[in-house]
Amino acid sequence: EPEVTQTPSHQVTQMGQEVILRCVPISNHLYFYWYRQILGQKVEFLVSFYNNEISEKSEIFDDQFSVERPDGSNFTLKIRSTKLEDSAMYFCASIGTKANSGNTIYFGEGSWLTVV
Amino acid sequence: KNEVEQSPQNLTAQEGEFITINCSYSVGISALHWLQQHPGGGIVSLFMLSSGKKKHGRLIATINIQEKHSSLHITASHPRDSAVYICALYGGATNKLIFGTGTLLAVQP
C-alpha cells in the first residue's frame, strides 16, 4: 500500500519562529496538497501544487506561508513567523492524476504543530 | 452557508447496528470522497464516488447526483468502526477537496 509520510509528527515552537513541515508524497503522484485542521474543527484546504508551482491557494495561505518541492521528492510547507492561531494538525496529501479523474487521494498521518 | 453538510454530527450505536451517515452538498461536483479519521488523526479515503453505489466489506456508499446527496452505510457495526467519518467533495472547476464537518461515530460493545 503506497503511503505519504510526514515529519515531524509533532512540533512545539515559540511564537514568531519559522517552522518547516516536510512531506514525502507517493513517488509517481503529480498533485500535492496541504490541509490543516484546528483542534475540534473541520479540515481546511491551504494550497495545491502541480508542475512545480502553486495551482490554487486559500485565503488562509497568506504571505507567511510558502511551499516548495526542492528535490523532486520532498514537499515542504514553511510558516515564516508562527502565530498562536497556526496551532493545528497539518496534513499533506497527494494524488496521481487530476483530482476528478477517478484516482484516490492519499493523506499523510499529519504533523501536529503547537505554537506557544 | 456550508457547501457540504453532514448529519448527524454525533452518532452512538450498539455493536451490530446498521448505521447511516448522510451528506448533502450545494455545489456541482466532479467526485465525492468518504474519508475516515481515527483519534490519532490520520485520514484514510474509504470511497470515491461520481455516481451510483460502491461496496467494500461492510461499508456501502451511494450518491445521487441529481439530489446532491450521498450516504455512507455501515452494516453490522463494530467498536473498531468508531471514528470520524468525513464527506469531502471536488467541485467542478477546482482540484481541491472541500470538507464537511464530519460525523463522530461511537460504536459501543
Mean pLDDT, chain A, as a whole number?
Answer: 91
Collect all residues from B whose CB is shorter than 8 A from any CB in A.
30-31, 33, 35, 40-45, 48, 50, 86, 88, 90, 92, 94-102
Per-residue pLDDT, averaged over A62-84, amounts to: 93
Residues B29-43 have pLDDT tens digits of: 888 999 999 887 789
pLDDT at site B93: 67
CB contact under 8 A, B95 and A107: no
Residues B78-93 have pLDDT tens digits of: 999 999 999 998 876 6
Residue B96 backbone dihedrals phi, psi, to 5 degrees:
-115, 155
* Interchain contact A50–B (C-beta under 8 A): yes
Beta bridge partners, A95, equal A31, A105
Which residue did the predictor score with more confidence, A1 or A4? Answer: A4
For chain A, what is the HEC assignment?
CCCCEEECCEEEECCCCCEEEEEECCCCCCEEEEEEECCCCCCEEEEEEECCEEEEECCCCCCCEEEECCCCCCEEEEECCCCHHHCEEEEEEEECCCHHHCCCEEECCCEEEEEC
Nearest alpha carbon to residue A39 among B78, B37, B58: B37
| Non-local CB neighbours of B93 within 8 Å, separated by 6+ positions | none
